[in-house]
């Protein structure tokens, strides 16, 4: 698994979905792979403008994380914020960007703290 930049295209993200899916078929599913796959599906749906399906995928990713006592995927909250931002709901967007920062944990696969802070500062 590799980090996918925040500005990746849907084709780039979908390519990673296919790679991860093949990995799951070959090596087997783990909670980490399952939550990552749902996260990536959420990103693809976001890039297709399917915000409710995107939100559902991120929620399901969070459920896998919670049910398996894994560290929070702070980037899921970043994408919740982006969904609100796309819908013009800047108040909730800012709230979720801050939640993303609150749940931040160092993970090379996901958005950096600096990227989150930069987005939060864009609202000031």
Domain hosting 89: range is 10-121
Instruction: Report the pLDDT value the prediction gives residue 45, as an integer from 0 to 100.
Output: 97
Q: Among positive and negative, which fits the CA dihedral 42, 53, 12, 31? A: positive
The answer to whether position 2 is within a domain reads: no
Domain at 59, CATH number: 1.25.40.10
Task: Give backbone dihedrals phi and psi of 116, rounded to 5 degrees, phi first.
Answer: -65, -45
Number of domains, the chain? 1
The answer to whether position 79 is within a domain reads: yes
The answer to whether position 3 is within a domain reads: no
pLDDT digits (tens, 9 = 90+) for 62-89: 999 999 999 999 999 999 999 999 999 9
The answer to whether position 4 is within a domain reads: no
Q: Among positive and negative, which fits the CA dihedral 83, 34, 59, 110? A: negative
pLDDT digits (tens, 9 = 90+) for 9-62: 999 999 999 999 999 999 999 999 999 999 999 999 999 999 999 999 999 999
Instruction: Give the separation between CA 87 and CA 49, rounded to whole angstroms.
Output: 10
Whole-model pTM: value is 0.93
The answer to whether position 22 is within a domain reads: yes
The answer to whether position 107 is within a domain reads: yes
- Is pLDDT of 1 > 90? no
């Amino acid at each position: 698994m590799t980090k996918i930049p925040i500005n990746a295209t849907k084709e780039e993200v979908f390519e990673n979905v296919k790679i991860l899916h093949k990995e799951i078929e070959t090596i087997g599913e783990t909670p980490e792979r399952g939550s990552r796959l749902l996260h990536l599906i959420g990103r693809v749906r976001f890039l297709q403008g399917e915000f409710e399906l995107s939100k559902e995928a991120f929620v399901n990713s969070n459920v896998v994380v919670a049910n398996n006592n894994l560290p929070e995927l702070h980037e899921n909250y970043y994408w919740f914020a982006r969904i609100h931002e796309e819908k013009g709901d800047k108040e909730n967007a800012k709230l979720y960007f801050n939640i993303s920062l609150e749940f931040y944990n160092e993970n090379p696969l996901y958005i950096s703290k600096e990227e989150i802070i930069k987005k939060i500062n864009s609202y000031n």
